[in-house]
Structure 1
Amino acid sequence: MENTKKILFLTGDFTEDYETMVPFQMLQMVGYEVHAVCPDKKKGDTVKTAIHDFEGDQTYTEKPGHNFTLTYTFSEVNPSDYVGLVIAGGRAPEYLRLHQGVLDVTRHFAENNKPIAAICHGIQILTAARVVEGRRLTAYPAVGPEVELAGGIFESVAPTEVVVDGNLVTSPAWPGHPKFIKAFLDVLGARIELGTPANLASAF
């Protein structure tokens, strides 16, 4: 469909498996064209994912996940083409935030008040881009000090919860996906039409 609205999806090597796979597929399901990108990689390349779980240790454990295929080339991204930005969590954000292009793209969405959704460690990209000052948001708890150092207002919420501040949607981890994705769709203005199998949803 020529007028399908596009979402930019930032991910990278050792991103959290669920936090890439689930939002990517759900946004496609409701009718968006999702351009999953990683700096210095191109359409058709893959990133390795990692599964983070909580098994009684002081922090999460990490296991190999699936390989995820990118759907667009980062160097060809024009931020003006997109109605929203999603930033996956996991270990990828700690190195993606060192890439100037990632910071520039993130600032475009913030400065133009476009919807931004970030989960878990994905918030590290927001803090590095310096777009959280005065904003209410959440993240994986270990990222809380970074949020506050960057001038944000960190809200400690359960992993199943979401925090929405205007165009900004954040959640601590993948257990929050149901509320996180619903809130992002609300901010995008997507209209879900239940009970209509032939036209499940509309992103327009």
Structure 2
Amino acid sequence: MSKTAEKGSGTSARPRLTVLSGPSGVGKSSVLSELRGLGEDVYYSVSVTTRAPRPGEVDGQHYHFVDRAEFDRMVAAGELLEHAEYAGNCYGTPRRPVEAALERGTPAILEIELQGARQVRRAMPEAQLVMLMPPTWEVLVTRLTGRGTEDPAVVAHRLKVAEQELAAAEEFDAVLVNSDVRTVARELLTLVVGSPTERVSSEP
């Protein structure tokens, strides 16, 4: 079972950015969807990307879609908290909307991978980094291989990356185990809206 920090004794803390990270297949999107349903006033960061929209995706809701020239301009101007390139496409987190949310007293949350989380820690040291882990390694392997529709080499690469990401758990301020989406979403909410926490951990 995950251990979450207890809130402070009545002291109101300044809202801060929470970064949710974890390997592919661990359920980050599902947890954030459940978190949205809890109805708290939280700002969910929308990433910018150079890839083309997929069917059903809405600009400004799922991503901010831009071309490479605009993305490079944003990087050069320091407008991104973090940025990275995956499979030939660029992704990044706009800095100003996050800062604006925090300035108006709204906690913010961002879902990114390990590389981006490390960049955010450097750019915004007060950010809270949360690692989402699977109940067991076997569960994660099943999630990544269960469909059986992807190239084995692609799956093998994802598993190798997942191993590296899970090995970095000690860099995070909190570690939550996704054994149950509803439960872990409430644990995450406590971290997002609560007072600054001591390091928390959990055992898969």
TM-score, scaled to structure 2: 0.37
| RCO comparison, higher one (Cα < 8 Å, 6+) | 2
- By percentage of residues, which structure has more strand? 1
TM-score, scaled to structure 1: 0.37
